[in-house]
Amino acid sequence: MRTSGLARAGLALLTLASTAAAVEYEVTQKDFQKCSGMYSRKAWGGNVDPFILTKFRQPSPPPPLRTPADGDDPVVSAVDAAACTDEQRGEFVLAANATDRSRNAILTQAVHLHNPPAIRYPVKKTGYYCVVTNPYSAHPDTDQYTAITEFRNAFGDLPAAQIAKLPFYAAFTIIYAFLALAWAALYYLHRRDILAVQNYVTAILVFLVVEMFMTWLFYDYQNRHGLSAGAKALMILVSILSAVRNSFSFFLLLIVCMGYGVVKPTLGKTMIYVRALAVTHFVFGVIYAIASLSITPENAGPLILLVVLPLAASLTAFYVWTLNSLNLTMKDLMERKQTVKAAMYRRLWWCILLTIIVIFVFFFINSWTFAGTTTADFIPTHWQTRWFILDGWLNLVYLADVAFIAYLWRPTANNRRFAMSDEIAQDDDGFEIESLRDSFDLDLEDPESDGGGGMKYESVRAGREGSPPAGASP
């Protein structure tokens, strides 16, 4: 856009690739370019045809009518060079084949600020669109302008780059609900044989259903009503729920790695310290979430470290403590020849290791992709998938980890006997453990054979047919 002492401005709408809904930006002489992707109406449906609307505010008082002197007017030389006509004064100079080479139509227009019209650009194709303004004036420092640009999508008020989150979080809500229902069925069937750690797993599964639903509700509400006060309240609530999920997840993983419920019936005073660390991490997470919502990157100074460093410290403490506890638990089980339990924790160790590898590989691929693309091209090229890079794939990894841990620690008929009993060490080279469930089958034929003081069970099975099972004699 170009403004002149005629009090006019030229406006160009350029198309690069795609995003936005009823998202409004303020355009000024200093902040002269705003870009957003846009979806066509066919892409996501909707009740209106998508468009970009730019409205200029008339200055008060309006700038004086003055035309630049020939020596000060950069357009005069362009007219003399036949790059444009005198009727195109104040518009952007485009190449002769610019419209043919562009994916969408390019609109350039001079705007008189004495009576600025609303400029509407219909969006027919999905693409990344930019509104560019530039002052055309002999006195650009004094002839200021302000405009509001609205990127309106057909589906609602949610930015186009975020619309994919609606079906994504809806699907995750359903998946976690089915996972919680399956867990609840097992929990009910074996309700008399539940371990303490399984109650924590139950709690986090229920919480995840609620959190995913509230996250979906936030995006759905914003799509219907825009970023209103209600949407902002939901955004704060979702940020707090996210902090709870992170703290609860690290807490659960830590007590599992410590052997709580399977190797140790209680953690004693250690549980107090673990809970204190989880609460501390939650508090720092909420502070970080509030700061990220209230402080823009441009205004973030050195004080932002006071928000980031405490969260990083508590996160590091969880990582170190968790990995160290898992190694100590596995070492203790192997020394006591508790092969079945050790196998469970070895699977957990591989799960954590695989998660770390996936995260590093994904970050490496993203960094490599970004390094091969200039900053100016990255957003226009990846605006439709950037949400998945920043947020979506981490939720997939988290879902896989939660499902795996829930499977390993699922309620069964042998929970308490498995947790409270030890395998009898076997030195026979032919000895094998068939499975977690088979290794602790009960001998129910004579439950009172020990005088009522205990229950006879088959501690392990021999791997060879015909070998008597190793039993635990009362």
pLDDT digits (tens, 9 = 90+) for 23-41: 777 777 777 788 888 888 8
Residues 281, 315: Cα–Cα separation, whole Å: 7
Window from 38-52, 99-113, 162-176, 225-239 with minimum mean pLDDT? 99-113
For the segment 48-106, what is each residue's pLDDT rounded down to a tens digit? 888 888 888 766 555 554 555 544 554 444 444 445 565 666 666 666 666 666 677 77
Domain spans, the chain: 8-152, 164-411, 421-474
Q: Are 257 and 330 in contact (CB under 8 A)?
A: no
The closest of 95, 102, 123, 96 to 19, measured between CA atoms, is 123
Radius of gyration (C-alpha) of the chain in whole angstroms: 32
For the segment 39-62, what is each residue's pLDDT rounded down to a tens digit? 888 888 878 888 888 888 766 555
Note the pLDDT of residue 334: 85
pLDDT band for 437, please (50, 70, 90 cuts): very low
Cα angle vertex 90, ends 89, 92, to 5°?
A: 100
For domain 164-411, the CATH architecture is Up-down Bundle (1.20)
Note the pLDDT of residue 409: 87
Q: Which two tokens stand for residue 461?
A: 């099975």
Note the pLDDT of residue 403: 93
Over residues 351-378, the mean pLDDT reads 76
311 pLDDT more than 50: yes
Question: How many H-runs (helices) and E-runs (strands) does the chain carry?
Answer: 13, 10
392 pLDDT more than 50: yes
From residue 201, give the alpha-carbon distance in Å to each of 84, 179, 464, 473. 70, 11, 37, 34
Q: Are 59 and 144 in contact (CB under 8 A)?
A: yes
Going through 16-155 in order, the beta strands assigned E by DSSP cover 23-28, 33-38, 51-57, 107-112, 119-122, 127-135, 146-152
